[in-house]
């Protein structure tokens, strides 16, 4: 680790950045006219996404100039996840941009820190959530448990698939929906119900604190890297219902991701594999 900085100091630094970025995006939505654009003609992006991304990445570069950064808006080079020789920061300045643009509260700043391809620290800060909209901050340092606003959290311990509440999401591009719909059909028939919140990071954190029992999706590293560690440290089981390529760190591989209460994981994995034709 650079300059003998401890993992707890790394987590504190990430949390401070996430909280400040949360204030930035809250201020932009509450007090300024929201300016929007599109990436690849389909994916919404706001000026606040760019501002928060530049703030976070700039602060990291200043304190840790030798570290690499993978961020959704300003440094989205996914090959960064394949190189494990130097520490890597994985950032989503606004997870849930469509929610953000529409005034919904399910919005999060996600910051993860990885060494040798393994995430060691994660912060997911939801600035519009919580009592009176004062915010919720999920935090984890590897081996030290997970917290929500400083209080320890645990998964739901759900054990009956029929009683499970699950979450998933859908891509902006609509040209490959058939496999997703097959999985959704199978899960709807096997589980209690579906929740579709529009933020992968919060979906996973909600599994971590027991508000959901299961989450699965295909996502990018910045969507889930921090939340996945939070779920693991809360005792949930995290893996994939598909295969992870040998050259890819599992902590940063987002295809066929599955996170759930431990007692449900194998049964959900079987449902999803069968629905996918694996």
Q: Which residues are annotated as a binding site?
A: 72, 92, 94-95, 223
Alpha-carbon distance of 226 to 92, in angstroms, equals 10
Alpha-carbon distance of 134 to 136, in angstroms, equals: 7
Element (H, E) at 137: strand 136-141
In 3D space, the residue among 21, 2, 9, 140 whose CA is nearest the CA of residue 73 turns out to be: 21
- For residue 55, give Cα distances in angstroms to 5, 120, 277: 21, 22, 43
Contacts of 154 (CB under 8 A, 6+ apart): 209, 210, 234, 235
Distance between CA atoms of residues 200 and 217, nearest Å:
8
253/240 Cα distance (integer angstroms):
9
Q: Which residues fall in the annotated binding site for Mg(2+)? A: 72, 92, 94-95, 223
Query: Rounded to an integer, what is the distance from CA 64 to the centroid of its chain?
Result: 23
**For residue 101, what are its two tokens?**
């643009």
Strand partners, 39: 43
């Amino acid at each position: 680790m650079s300059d003998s900085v401890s993992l707890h100091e790394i987590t504190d630094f990430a949390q401070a950045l996430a909280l400040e970025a949360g204030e930035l995006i809250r201020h932009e939505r509450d007090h300024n006219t929201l300016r929007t654009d599109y990436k690849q003609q389909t994916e919404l992006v706001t000026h606040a996404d760019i501002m928060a991304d530049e703030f976070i990445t700039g602060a990291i570069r200043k304190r840790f100039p030798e570290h690499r950064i993978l961020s959704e808006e300003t440094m989205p080079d996914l090959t960064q996840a394949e190189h494990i020789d130097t520490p890597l920061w994985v950032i989503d300045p606004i997870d849930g941009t469509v929610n953000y643009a529409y005034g919904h509260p399910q919005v999060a700043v996600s910051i993860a820190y990885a060494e040798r391809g393994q995430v060691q620290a994660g912060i997911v800060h939801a600035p519009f959530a919580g009592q009176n909209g004062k915010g919720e901050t999920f935090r984890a340092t590897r081996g030290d448990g997970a917290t929500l606003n400083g209080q320890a959290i645990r998964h739901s311990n759900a054990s009956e698939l029929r009683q499970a509440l699950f979450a998933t999401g859908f891509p902006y591009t609509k040209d490959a929906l058939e496999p997703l719909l097959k999985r959704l059909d199978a899960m709807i028939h096997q589980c209690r119900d579906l929740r579709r919140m529009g933020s992968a990071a919060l979906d996973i954190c909600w599994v971590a604190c027991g508000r959901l029992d299961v989450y699965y999706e295909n996502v990018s590293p910045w969507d889930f890297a921090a939340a996945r560690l939070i779920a693991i440290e809360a005792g949930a089981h995290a893996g994939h219902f598909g295969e992870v390529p040998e050259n890819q760190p599992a902590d940063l591989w987002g295809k066929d991701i599955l996170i759930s209460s431990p007692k449900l994981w194998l049964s959900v994995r079987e449902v999803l594999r069968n629905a996918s034709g694996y």
